[in-house]
Structure 1
Amino acid sequence: MTAYKNELLIAQAIDLFKTSNLNVAEVSSTLGFSNPYSFSKVFKRVTGVAPSVYINELYRNP
């Protein structure tokens, strides 16, 4: 159940990164993570890349 919940949260995070100008800390807080470090660990576990790498790729290849 936790893995599924994490996948849903990361899908929401990806949507926020694509549709807003929120940074990693703001997205982390919006989704209810205790801190950006915890969010980053889960994001990397689910996607295979750190949030900052994902954001850089997103803006490089719109």
Structure 2
Amino acid sequence: MDDWNVESMAEYCKLSVGYFSHLFKKRIGSSPMKYLTELRIEKAKELIATNSMSLSNIAQMTGFNDPLYFSRVFKKTTGIPPKEFQQSLLTINTPNWWDE
């Protein structure tokens, strides 16, 4: 939820931005911001699956101040928009009473 960026991460580690980015990519295998974005989207998927909160609230809880930007990043990362992801979970978890 915090407003992390490469500068704040480097400052937290008491390293220069360049050196922090270099070490991070060397050890983790991706850039700090790409890794953070992937973590945020994974958390958003978890929240969508386990909560009845609005997508706007989930976006804010996972560090995205703009719900539209959250939707674009979610779709770019997962291949589907968050609303479609949410609806697919509802379809999977809802029994088809009329088919019985």
Q: TM-score, normalised to structure 1's length? A: 0.92
Q: State which of 40, 44, 53 in structure 1 corresponds to 2:84.
A: 53
- Once residues 82 and 49 of structure 2 are traced to their aligned partners in structure 1, the CA distance between those partners, rounded to angstroms, is 12
Give the Å deviation of 1:32. Answer: 1.9
SS of residue in 2 equivalent to 1:28: helix
Deviations 1:7-27 (A, max 9, x none): 100000011011111111010
Q: Find out whether 1:40 has 2:71 as its counterpart.
A: yes
- Once residues 58 and 65 of structure 2 are traced to their aligned partners in structure 1, the CA distance between those partners, rounded to angstroms, is 11
RMSD over aligned CA atoms reads 0.8
Structure 1 gaps, min length 5: none
Deviations 1:1-60 (A, max 9, x none): 211111100000011011111111010111121210010011001100000000010100
Higher RCO structure, 1 or 2 (CA under 8 Å, sep 6+): 1
Q: State which of 12, 21, 35 in structure 1 corresponds to 2:52.
A: 21
Aligned to 2:41: 10
Aligned to 2:29: none
Q: What is the identity percentage for the equivalent residue pairs of Structure 1 and Structure 2?
A: 31
Max radius of gyration: which structure? 2
Structure 2 gaps, min length 5: 1-31, 94-100
